[in-house]
Amino acid sequence: MIDYPRLTRTLIRHECNNGIIETKPYIDSVGKLTIGIGRNLTDNGITEEEALMLCRNDIQSACKDITMLVTEFWMLDSVRQEVLVNMMFNLGFPTLARFKLMLDAVNNKDWHEASKQMLSSRWASQVGYRATELSSAMLTGEFQKEKGE
């Protein structure tokens, strides 16, 4: 039976420069996009399960980050929490932090103003329907039914 911890240590020694696991993509010695402990993204990509695991981790990180901008984030209803996490996921902390008027409106639970500020942003013109859907959910506290629901 394979000794997974030992094999992992050996692979780290063999695949990683100085035993440092690469947490960002890089081009390996044969020109393949690689990450981690020799994961060949060019040929193998990632599995759907791995993509979902990464998404869960990113959601957790976005939730943590949004609490620095919205003081009572965990007291909001789940729809408005999801809207804010969706925006954090899409924009990243530095960009979302510049949505000062929208964030002030959220912190004051002024959903009309928050929705208005979302739609008046450059982001709204860049993402189109995403902004329309999210601003509507921010305003009403409900997501529109998806087709087939």
Residue ranges of domains in the chain, CATH in brackets? 20-66 (no CATH), 72-140 (1.10.530.40)
- Residue 145 confidence class, pLDDT cut points 50, 70, 90: confident
Q: How many CB atoms lie within 10 A of CB 138?
A: 26
pLDDT tens-digit series, residues 43-100: 999 999 999 999 999 999 999 999 999 999 999 999 999 999 999 999 999 999 999 9
The dihedral sign for the CA sequence 67, 79, 114, 84 = positive
Q: Determine phi and psi for 146, rounding to 5 degrees.
A: -80, 155
| Confidence (pTM) | 0.84
